[in-house]
A and B are shown apart, each in its own frame.
Chain A
Amino acid sequence: MNGRLPILVFALVMAAIPFIPGMPPFWIVLLDNIGLAALVAMGLVLLTGVGGLTSFGQAAFVGFGAYTTAVLSTAYGLSPWLTLPLSLLVSGLFAVLLGLITVRLSGHYLPLGTLAWGLGLFYLFSKLEFLGRNDGISAIPPLSIGTFKMLSPGSIYYAIWVAVIVSALLTMNLLDSRTGRAIRALRRGHVAAEAFGVQTPRAKLLVFIHAAVLAGLSGWLYAHLQRAVNPTPFGAQAGIEYLFIAVVGGAGYVWGGVLGAAIVVILKEVLQSYLPLILPGSGQVETIVFGIMLVALLQLAPGGVWPWLMSFLPQKAGGRKPDTSLTLPARFRAPGEASVLLQVEKARKQFGGVIAVNNVSFDVQAREIVALIGPNGAGKSTTFNLITGVLSATSGSISVLGKKVDKAPPQEIVKLGISRTFQHVKLVPDMTVLENVAIGAHLRGHSGPIASMLRLDRADEARLLAEAARQIERVGLGEQMHQLAGSLSLGQQRIVEIARALCVDPMLLLLDEPAAGLRHMEKQQLAKLLRDLRDGGMSVLLVEHDMGFVMNLADRIVVLDFGTKIAEGTPATIKTNPEVIKAYLGVAA
């Protein structure tokens, strides 16, 4: 995301294009259309490619933007510059309304839901009297600065491309920030993000609004370029086409949206103007060819064109190491030294007829390493999920520092200073180790999306990254800081999860099988790290299958079998406990 130079070059080239002698005015019209489509596609990149929320309804938001300025500037005579914020506001407000309904939908409901309201709104545009029904609204005033009126496609060209480049910059800034990391984590499911305090519904709504406002901006520009609006360009077909543009360009990349817009707009133009020469007399041949090319493109490059192009560029050597001298303030701690951090009392979890956890009670004291062991299916991970609020207990109670947290969501548990890792690694594979770990510090930063877009978050951001870098070095992965998390071995990914959990500045660390997939030396290093953490005042609750590792490390061991606690004690007593031996080996040895 670094490197502003290519963007500057791009901006200069775009600024110079209209001055090329002999430039056909028609090309400028094409570039205008590309810019308009790129704005919408950019929003979709964030929404669909990055956030994983597929929307067919973006054309409706373009419609909101266009109709708002059309009505206000014709019927009420407002200046177009005054209607700009209003257009964006209307798109944004409708995004909030529709988003509250839509973003909670999962999987395929979401795209189909957006298709449905996209269609409904299209018909609404074409039936409402004050929007001019099917005829729409004409005689919209042009944009003007002083006495200069942007009447020609060449003059509004600059307004459009300034909007595109500024929006791209803001969007990229947003992605490269605390909020952006939360957004980028959405696509991989919400459990991991929520475990570090991300309010995932709010993050989804945010990208939804961002995309809608970009679409509204495109609509506002469109209305003043065409100086007339009618419902056709805001229908389902257009909504589908915008999504297509984003996918063609590369749905995960901001510039993929711009590239996709260029490819699709030019392709359509070429097909429309040249196909009749090859296949004369047939009406919709370009649609046929367009459809077939679309399918062919997906079969050949399902990731889109932008990442395919980028793969030809030399790989940049890793990013800059954050300045680790910056420090984050420690997490707020309740005054006084409590001795019992976590108290689980008769916790019970039933899934239908299966009792996964059966009235289990245990506690974790300050400065203590407790291990939770038991054969497969003993209910260890379910217990973790009960403690961290991912699941809520059927009965019984769980308290942290004497405060009951039975019904608290994961975001509240982590605020109390309990952080965790997962049995099945939940990292974002296409983010770097540093970025993944920084998600752990989410609650210790405070910059919001607006500040991130305007780069007002840099001081906050530097402290977050410094903390993340420190924790990465602490777990011994300093070398891998700038690699993509997905490229590490599974064992290393588990260690990355520990670094992420440490970024919370926790008082209690919950580790789910941290040593699985580690080599002998790595296990010893992990054991040393955990001992150091305990000596530094932290407590650890871990689930682990490696008995040698557990017996040498834990201060106390709790043994579960079929959801029930069968033993508790020091490693020495557990080793000789007949119940435990029976559970593991089937018979008393």
Chain B
Amino acid sequence: MNTTILLFLLQDGITNGAIYALLGLALVLVFAVTRVILIPQGEFVTYGALTYASLASGQMPGTAKLALAMGIVAFVFDLFAARKALHGRLILRTFLTNIVLPGIVLAAILYFAGQKPPVAISMALSLVIVALIGVSLYRIVFQPLAHTSVLVLLIASVGVHLALQGLGLLFFGAEGQRGPAVLSTAFTLGALRFTGQSITVYGITIAFIVGLWLFFGFTRYGKALRATAVNRLGARLAGIRTSLSGQIAFLLASVIGALSGILIVPITTLYYDSGFLIGLKGFVAAIIGGLVSYPLTAIAALFVGIVEAFSSFYASNYKEVIVFMLLIPVLLLRSLAAPAVEEEKD
């Protein structure tokens, strides 16, 4: 192996690792606030990527309709939940966020579809669509289950993954797609070529890590989210709306997922079912990070990306085996290090 290959593999690994880091962060965030292990994170990735790619190639993405349909269901859920204390402001608010907003987005999509909008508009629309889906998803599926055990939430999460993946096939077909680069500049540094795309990936990952750190450390909402994570009942008694915390967590997670998708779809072809594996590698990073620490998750994600890059070079057949088996020694270390603590389970 010469230095050039080494550097190439490292670069490749870091780019992928940065994406896994973003996803790992989102998983940690959602788990910390809602106790949901977000298996459909991968679907946020593919939905974001393929919506973006469809828009860019002048097609009408079905996800826009899904966002509206889920908004309508969420609206009904809201009305049903508040049926004993309905008042005008509440109805108006849920109507605006759940129906009017996705309606406007759908109208925009219908307007732009077929005329290949600029990259920035495609990106913004894709992000908004996936964000709407993410928030409605929490409202419809997870908010009614918020009091149940981690296991039930996990199974529900699996159900959502299956449904969304099936819908993905319906919307985008079995063919893979690629999207246009966000930044098309490139420069070389020694033997390495840096594309604008990979620089964007690094920049956005770092921005998110810093942003989440600031959000959780220094803002009221961030602190409220952390309080919800520690103790739902206590947070509610302190006046925090825990359902709002959940929606914020899902909003962030879906935006992060969609953004990751938009960032990688110019680099690799994505299929409707590619998200699952990508999300799982974010998982590996999140588990190594212990599902609590953001910086540790980010470092672990870079490590996962680099291991993946090297194993695809040396033993491409066993790439996935190696990545997933990485966890075993990590878990082993964790079990040896962690004292046997008592948990009160429900």
B:69-118 near A, CB below 8 Å: none
Assuming the A-B contacts A244-B158, A291-B161, A294-B162, are A107 and B335 also in contact, with contact meaning beta carbons closer than 8 angstroms in the complex?
Answer: no
A316 at the interface (CB under 8 A from B): no
Pair A295/B321 contact, Cβ less than 8 Å: no
B325 at the interface (CB under 8 A from A): yes
A:165-209 near B, CB below 8 Å: 187-191
- Pick from A120, A294, A302: contact of B148, CB below 8 A: A302
Pair B162/A291 contact, Cβ less than 8 Å: yes
The binding surface of chain A is classed by DSSP as helix
- Pick from A102, A284, A286: contact of B331, CB below 8 A: A102
B328 at the interface (CB under 8 A from A): yes
Binds B, one of A111-119, A466-474, A550-558, A576-584: A111-119
Whole-angstrom distance from the CB of A191 to the nearest CB of chain B? 5
B342 at the interface (CB under 8 A from A): yes
Closest to B144 in A: A299
Closest to A118 in B: B324
Whole-angstrom distance from the CB of B29 to the nearest CB of chain A? 14
B152 at the interface (CB under 8 A from A): yes
Whole-angstrom distance from the CB of A302 to the nearest CB of chain B? 5
B:318-339 near A, CB below 8 Å: 318, 320-321, 324-325, 327-328, 331-332, 334-335, 338
Pair B145/A119 contact, Cβ less than 8 Å: no
Pair B335/A101 contact, Cβ less than 8 Å: yes
Pair A112/B162 contact, Cβ less than 8 Å: no
Which B residues lie within 8 Å of A107 (CB)? 150, 343
Pair B37/A189 contact, Cβ less than 8 Å: no
Pair A283/B145 contact, Cβ less than 8 Å: no
Mark each residue of chain B from 139 to 178: 1 if its CB lies under 8 Å from any CB of chain A, else 0: 0010011001011101110111111111101100010000
Pair A298/B324 contact, Cβ less than 8 Å: no
Pair A124/B155 contact, Cβ less than 8 Å: no
Mark each residue of chain A from 274 to 315: 1 if its CB lies under 8 Å from any CB of chain B, else 0: 000000001111111111111100110010000000000000
Mark each residue of chain B from 294 to 318: 1 if its CB lies under 8 Å from any CB of chain A, else 0: 0000000000000000000000011
A115–B157 CA distance with the chains assembled, in angstroms: 14
A544–B171 CA distance with the chains assembled, in angstroms: 67
Whole-angstrom distance from the CB of B20 to the nearest CB of chain A? 14
By size class, the interface of chain B is: 35 or more
A52–B151 CA distance with the chains assembled, in angstroms: 9
Pair A105/B155 contact, Cβ less than 8 Å: no
Closest to A291 in B: B163
A541–B327 CA distance with the chains assembled, in angstroms: 46
Pair A189/B343 contact, Cβ less than 8 Å: yes
Whole-angstrom distance from the CB of B308 to the nearest CB of chain A? 13
B287 at the interface (CB under 8 A from A): yes
Assuming the A-B contacts A104-B335, A105-B334, A288-B166, are A190 and B287 also in contact, with contact meaning beta carbons closer than 8 angstroms in the complex?
Answer: no
Pair A294/B335 contact, Cβ less than 8 Å: no
By size class, the interface of chain A is: 35 or more
- Pick from B141, B284, B291: contact of A108, CB below 8 A: B291
Assuming the A-B contacts A127-B321, A295-B141, are A116 and B163 also in contact, with contact meaning beta carbons closer than 8 angstroms in the complex?
Answer: no
A109–B160 CA distance with the chains assembled, in angstroms: 21
- Pick from A108, A112, A187, A191: contact of B342, CB below 8 A: A191
Which A residues lie within 8 Å of B220 (CB)? none
Pair A283/B342 contact, Cβ less than 8 Å: no
Assuming the A-B contacts A102-B331, A107-B150, are A127 and B318 also in contact, with contact meaning beta carbons closer than 8 angstroms in the complex?
Answer: yes
Which A residues lie within 8 Å of B334 (CB)? 105, 109
Whole-angstrom distance from the CB of A493 to the nearest CB of chain B? 15
Other 13 A-B pairs with CB < 8 A, given A188-B345, A290-B163, A299-B156: A54-B151, A101-B328, A113-B327, A113-B331, A189-B345, A191-B342, A283-B169, A285-B166, A285-B170, A288-B163, A294-B158, A295-B160, A302-B145
Interface residues of B (CB under 8 A from A): 31, 37, 141, 144-145, 148, 150-152, 154-156, 158-167, 169-170, 174, 280, 283-284, 287, 291, 317-318, 320-321, 324-325, 327-328, 331-332, 334-335, 338, 340-345
Interface residues of A (CB under 8 A from B): 48, 52, 54, 101-102, 104-109, 111-113, 115-117, 119-120, 123-124, 127, 187-191, 236, 240, 243-244, 247, 251, 282-295, 298-299, 302
Listed from nearest, the 5 A-B pairs whose CB atoms lie closest are A291-B163, A294-B159, A291-B162, A287-B166, A120-B324
